[in-house]
């Protein structure tokens, strides 16, 4: 077998590097200019690009501060006598290998788990999946994209045969006159996207569905659109009702349905029972507003339906996303010019991160690990016998639930995730991490998960590395190195290759990002997400930094910015309408909960994001400007609800579920329903929203139920909880 030796020296940083923001999947373009004697190592300037047009949000403008954040890890840490202490790389990697070899010898390779992240570059995600299957031999790998994209991915795959968040460039939205946006607060999560909504707003065509009057919902004021405020967890009923109205009022595109879809009759029957008055009773959305929205969608010259996590992070999230797709198909939108359906990916590489092998059932190119032909194709690139590849693993929540369990996993390697904050039922995750024989975390700061580790490995940040990302449009872009990493810090590509060598893994283990990408491209050839016509050199040569590099991009291609113009991804070229049913019996937060529906203080908790923070907050809580603006979690309550519970604005309150409790400040706003409380999920410890959420998951996508949790809210006075 051929093994890599010392990593090739990476090219030195340029004085000015065109790159992309380290945060969300919009992947706004920016230029970093070295400032050796400045307060930060680089300065940030917005750069013209189709997604952001030179604009950046607060997080983007302050991203350089991450590079000089206090507490930057520059040496490995190992746990000794209960405390983390500095160690050499040789000691840290040696401890990992000895422990892993012992665990695998005693309990087999599946006793070792790997947890990846949607912020890893394509190269890292690819090599991490290869490392799990070849160096560890484990099937137990999944990633945090399971928490924020999997329901939309599952729905898109079964409807279209392809999962690409937006099957069109985001700039296509510019010409829309109607945009239905469900479960996404883009004004807070990806503000530069708002420029693409301006045309719809100008003609009163922005329709926002959200239980809160979020910053995005506020954009519908003064005639710019409509805000629908359904009860949390009722989006599926809402979508079934809108489809019912489109059919009942003769607004469906019947020629399109006949020519381009299958399954319409079953969907027509499935929505028949959801007449407007019944939908109003379940959702709280008035009949008149339902009719207005259905008619607006049908008469729009350019109509788009976009979904986000708010409709997907439920135990019926896949069915809800499917209902949105059904509505789009009944209207004849997907594949048409100036119309379409899409979903807004959240994490920076949420799209690419699920395409190339860190998802439990997938191999590079969006191939299925259970498919013999797919296994053979990838094994040939790796130079191994397909028989040595493990089969499908288990999704993230199940994987984390196996920590410390009999026959479960004894070791976990975490890359690009902060699971003790971001995972559901965070208290149980913390207990599971404590039960492991070995927890290894690669990070550049001591996140809450890294603080619990047995070994912490310091790795490079975004501006210190080369690579690629795939944004929400399926556009492959270049991340470029602007500065050198601190002494002692290594790339995760180097770390994985070194561990693979020490574990005597088969295949080759390149550490140069361009070489890793070339291997990824070969492994993806012929797959759904085909990158085989691309390389770092090709992307660098493209005007606009990969501006046209939408996958699939097979050899000889010029990319595919718009999918579905002539056919969908299924063998027959047709889209599938899939009938789904709303659950009217108690489920999710209601089944088995200890709180009676009318108990004092009983509300429905929904979680989400703030403008100033990102994901678990491990990065943004270390940026002074962002943290000063939002230093702690605040729970949003309606003033009438707060008055009933004896709570005034700014009070300290306790929120309890059957899994845990948090203590936060109250923020009163009439922009939230009276039966709902909102809590951001960026904070840790006693403010961690996921101490409250349940590990119940969607049966198809395995996405957790983050958006609907039964809680009791009470005031705290002088340290004592006050009964409502």
Residue stretches of the chain with pLDDT short of 50: 1-10, 585-592, 724
DSSP label of 11: P
Q: Which residues, 6 or more positions from 672, have their beta carbon under 8 angstroms from its beta carbon?
A: 211, 212, 213, 636, 637, 638, 678
**In contact, 437 and 103? CB cutoff 8 Å:** yes
pLDDT in tens, 116-130: 999 999 999 999 999
The DSSP annotation for 395-411 comes to: -HHHHHHTBTSTTSBSE
Question: What is the predicted pLDDT for the residue at 186?
Answer: 95
Q: Report how far Cα 492 is from the mean position of its chain's Cα atoms.
A: 21
Q: Is the pTM of this model over 0.75?
A: yes
Distance CA 546, CA 423 (A): 33
Cβ neighbors of 161 (< 8 A, separation 6 or more) are: 568, 569, 570, 571, 576
Q: Tell me the HSE value of 379 on the side-chain side, using a 13 A CA sphere.
A: 17
User: Considering the domain 602-722 in this protein, what is its CATH number?
Assistant: 2.40.40.20
Per-residue pLDDT tens over the stretch 206-215? 999 999 999 9
In angstroms, the first-to-last Cα distance of the chain is: 69
Query: What is the structure's pLDDT at 14?
Result: 56
**77-147+349-541: CATH topology:** Rossmann fold (3.40.50)
How many CA atoms lie less than 13 Å away from 114 in the CB half-sphere?
A: 29
Number of residues that make up the chain = 724
Q: Write down the pLDDT at residue 38.
A: 80
Residue 573 Rama label (left phi>0; alpha psi -120 to 50; beta)? left
Which residues are CB-neighbours of 232 under 8 A, at least 6 positions away? 211, 604, 606, 673, 676, 707, 708
Asked if 419 and 144 touch (Cβ cutoff 8 Å), the reply is yes
Residue 66 phi/psi, 5-degree rounding, is -60, -30
pLDDT value of position 547 = 84
Q: Are 89 and 76 in contact (CB under 8 A)?
A: yes
Query: In this structure, what are the phi and psi dihedrals at residue 561, rounded to the nearest 5 degrees?
Result: -65, -35
The full set of domain ranges for the chain reads: 77-147+349-541, 150-344, 602-722
**CB-based burial label for 1 (10 Å; 0-12, 13-18, 19+):** exposed
CA distance 362 to 354: 8
Q: How big is the chain by its Cα radius of gyration, in Å?
A: 25
CA 513/CA 508 separation, integer angstroms: 14
In this prediction, residue 586 carries a pLDDT of 41
Distance CA 317, CA 678 (A): 19
Strands (E) across 609-648 are located at 634-637
Quick one: how far is CA 48 from the chain centroid? 25
C-alpha to C-alpha distance for 252 and 608, rounded to whole angstroms: 34
Cα dist from 658 to 357, 386, 415, whole Å: 35, 45, 30
Note if the bond before 552 is cis, omega within 30 degrees.
Answer: yes
Q: pLDDT per residue over 668-692, tens digit each?
A: 999 999 999 999 999 999 999 999 9
Which top CATH class is 150-344?
A: alpha beta
Q: How far apart are CA 605 and CA 625, in angstroms?
A: 28
pLDDT, residue 12, reads: 54
Token pair in block for residue 471: 């944004």
Helix, strand, coil percentages, rounded to 5, for the chain = 35, 20, 45
**Beta strand extents in 504-638 (DSSP E only):** 575-576, 602-608, 634-637
What is the per-residue pLDDT for 617? 87
């Amino acid at each position: 077998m051929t093994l890599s030796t010392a990593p090739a020296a990476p090219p030195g940083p340029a004085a000015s590097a065109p790159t992309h923001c380290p945060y969300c999947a919009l992947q706004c373009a920016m230029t970093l200019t070295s400032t050796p004697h400045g307060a930060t190592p680089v300065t940030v300037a917005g750069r013209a690009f189709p997604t952001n047009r030179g604009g950046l949000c607060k997080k983007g403008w302050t991203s350089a501060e991450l590079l000089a954040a206090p507490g930057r890890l520059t040496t490995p840490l190992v746990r000794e006598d209960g405390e983390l202490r500095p160690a050499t790389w040789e000691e840290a990697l040696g401890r990992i290998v000895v422990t892993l070899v012992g665990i695998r010898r005693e309990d087999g390779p599946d006793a070792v788990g790997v947890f990846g992240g949607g912020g890893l570059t394509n190269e890292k995600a690819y090599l991490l999946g290869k490392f799990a299957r070849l160096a560890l031999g484990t099937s137990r790998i999944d990633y945090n994209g399971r928490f924020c994209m999997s329901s939309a991915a599952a729905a898109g795959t079964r409807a279209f045969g392809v999962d690409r968040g937006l099957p069109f460039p985001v700039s296509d939205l510019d010409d829309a006159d109607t945009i239905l946006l469900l479960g996404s607060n883009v004004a807070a999560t990806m503000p530069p996207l708002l420029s693409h909504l301006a045309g719809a707003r100008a003609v009163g065509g922005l329709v926002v569905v959200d239980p809160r009057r979020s910053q995005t919902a506020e954009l519908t004021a003064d005639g710019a659109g409509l805000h629908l405020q359904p009860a949390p967890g009722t989006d599926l009923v809402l979508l079934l009702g809108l489809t019912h109205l489109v059919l009942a009022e003769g607004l469906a595109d019947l020629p399109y349905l006949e020519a381009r879809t299958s399954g319409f009759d079953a969907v027509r029957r499935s929505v028949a029972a959801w007449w407007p008055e019944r939908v109003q009773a379940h959702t709280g959305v008035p009949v008149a507003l339902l009719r207005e929205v259905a008619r607006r969608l049908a008469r729009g010259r350019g109509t788009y339906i976009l979904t986000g996590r708010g409709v997907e992070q439920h135990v019926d999230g896949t069915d809800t996303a499917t209902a949105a797709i059904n509505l789009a198909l009944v209207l004849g939108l997907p594949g048409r010019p100036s119309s379409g359906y899409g979903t807004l990916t959240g994490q920076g590489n949420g799209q690419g991160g699920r395409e190339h092998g860190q998802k439990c059932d997938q191999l590079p190119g969006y191939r299925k690990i259970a498919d013999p032909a797919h296994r053979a194709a990838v094994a040939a690139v790796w130079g191994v016998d397909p028989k040595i590849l493990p089969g499908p693993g288990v999704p993230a929540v199940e994987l984390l639930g196996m920590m410390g369990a009999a026959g479960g996993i004894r070791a976990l390697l975490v890359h690009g995730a902060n699971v003790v904050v971001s995972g559901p039922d965070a208290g149980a995750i913390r207990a599971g991490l404590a039960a492991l024989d070995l927890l290894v975390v690669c990070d550049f700061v001591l996140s809450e998960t890294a603080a619990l580790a047995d070994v912490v490995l310091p790795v490079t940040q975004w501006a210190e590395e080369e690579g690629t990302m795939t944004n929400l449009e399926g556009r492959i872009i270049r991340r470029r190195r602007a500065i050198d990493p601190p002494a002692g810090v290594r790339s995760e590509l180097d770390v994985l290759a070194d561990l693979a060598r020490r574990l005597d893994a088969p295949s080759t283990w390149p550490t140069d990002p361009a070489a890793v990408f070339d291997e990824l491209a070969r492994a993806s050839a012929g797959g759904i997400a085909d990158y085989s016509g691309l390389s770092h050199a090709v992307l660098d040569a493209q005007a606009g930094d990969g501006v046209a590099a939408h996958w699939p991009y097979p050899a000889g291609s010029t990319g595919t910015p718009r999918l579905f113009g002539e056919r969908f991804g299924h063998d027959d070229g047709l889209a599938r309408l899939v009938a789904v049913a709303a659950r009217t019996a108690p489920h999710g937060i209601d089944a088995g909960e200890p709180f009676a529906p009318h108990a004092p203080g009983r509300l429905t908790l929904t979680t989400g994001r703030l403008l100033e923070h990102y994901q678990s907050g491990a990065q943004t809580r270390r940026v002074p400007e962002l943290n000063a603006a939002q230093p702690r979690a605040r729970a949003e309550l309606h003033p009438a609800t707060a008055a009933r519970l004896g709570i005034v604005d700014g009070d300290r309150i306790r929120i309890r579920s059957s899994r845990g409790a948090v203590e936060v400040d109250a923020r009163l706003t009439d922009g939230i329903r009276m039966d709902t409380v909102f809590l951001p999920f960026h904070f840790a410890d006693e403010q961690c929203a996921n101490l409250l959420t349940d590990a119940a998951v969607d049966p198809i996508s395995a996405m957790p139920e983050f958006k609907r949790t039964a809680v009791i809210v009470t005031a705290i006075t002088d340290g004592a909880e006050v009964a409502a």
